[in-house]
Amino acid sequence: MGAVSLTRATPPNVVFILADDYGYNDIGYHNPEILTPHMDSLAREGVILEQSYVQPVCTPTRSALMTGLYPFHLGRQGQPIATTQPSGLTLDTMLLPEYLKSKGYSTHLVGKWHLGFCKEEFLPTNRGFDTHQGFWTGYETYYSKLAEDENDYSYTGYNFVDGLGPQFDSNGTYSTHFYSQLAEEVISNHAVTLPDTPLFLYLAYQAPHSPLEVPQEYEDLYPHIENKDRRVFSGMVSAMDESIGNITLALKKSGLYNNTIIIFLGDNGGDTPKQQQNSCGEAGPRPGAGNNFPLRGWKGTVYEGGVRTPGFVHSPLLLDQGIVSTQMIHVTDWLPTLYSLAGASSQEIEDLGFDGVSQVDMILNSRVGQSKRKGFVVNINENPHGKTVAGLREGKFKLILNAPPGVGWVEPPTVNEQDCLVSNTSTMSIEH
């Protein structure tokens, strides 16, 4: 990938897209059974990041993304923040949108936060975002926007906000469609009101996290998948792909596209349904229907299937296209990378003491640029039995300490003895 000019008067706009519980095998360029034509096109015209690493679950990944620090340095290396848990991401650390605002950016969050809401100080609009429309917790229903307490299902409430208060316009609208509408509005409003100000839009999709819900037209794209959960899940992915296509179109219509960098990745590995079996049409004990094959493991594990997800960068600012990069990049790297793109000097970044490193050269000059990483800490955490579960990647080697037994490879439920194969001939319009 060729060099991009970083000396322009206005730093690049950034649209950072994070999918929820998105497995390595759940995107078209890894698995042609999954219909994601818009993401496939963006990826193939940019840089596909085949060694893109995140954390095993969502709050730790979002903590690392927002701070540039390993979650075990923040006390966020364990389970996600529960719905009624009085906790949040430490207030002692600046977050990514605050760094970008210091360089003149307008900052907006659409979608999932999941970094605490027990006090107003923890909320996105008090952590550097100019606006937030979405939800504060880990998950909710896609139409009614209801969230439950993971430990006591008698606690249920409406879970969609605009800034510091509830927003009821979304009730009854499929979340992925509504996020697309909100993101398009952010883009068009920014282009009109702040055309000379760089934009940072963090689009944190709910999809394809459980509960498994999708409009029928998307499920119908997969008539040959006999497993109901996998069929609905695949439709959720295609709906998200359509949304990303619409947002890309909005960038072009607004005139922002030519100075925009689009970044996409999943927050952790896919949540597989029947984690040690493969039987089409057989319901599994877990709520997800993702797939990480041929990687080992799933969401919540330190194996590759838990922490290596689809990732790509797309931008017309890139001189070379169609690069598949096998260079190593970790979620902690994105803050220093984006801060560098915003105009921060190498010395500024070094002085801040991030665990992440700026990967500008690797991202923007992928044909010749080398990752500044030779390894990283996957995670360090204590399990309920008092044992330390940890992972370390160094070069081509990976060390795992006290991994739980029985973590293997889960083949996609559409490839088995019943030959539940999917045609890749259907496509969706980018207008819904």
- The pairing of strands 106-112 and 199-204 is parallel
Number of H helices and E strands in the chain, helices first, is 10, 17
Ordered DSSP codes for 220-239: TT-TT---HHHHHHHHHHHH
Marked catalytic residue, from 30, 38, 58, 73: 58
Residue 294 · residue 269 · CB < 8 Å: no
Amino acid at 193: T
Nearest-Å Rg of the Cα atoms of the chain is 20
Q: How far apart are CA 266 and CA 39, in angstroms?
A: 13
**E strands along 20-59, which residues?**
47-49, 52-53
Q: Please, which residues bridge with residue 168 across strands?
A: none
Catalytic residue among 114, 209, 314, 330: 114
Q: Is residue 432 flagged as an active site residue? A: no
Number of other residues whose CB lies within 10 A of the CB of residue 107: 25
- Residue 209 catalytic? no
Vertex 247 angle, CA 241 and 248, to 5°? 90
Tokens 């119908």 label which residue?
A: 220
3-state secondary structure of 277: coil
Which residue in 7, 14, 419 sits closest to 226, CA to CA?
Answer: 419
Residues assigned a catalytic role: 58, 114
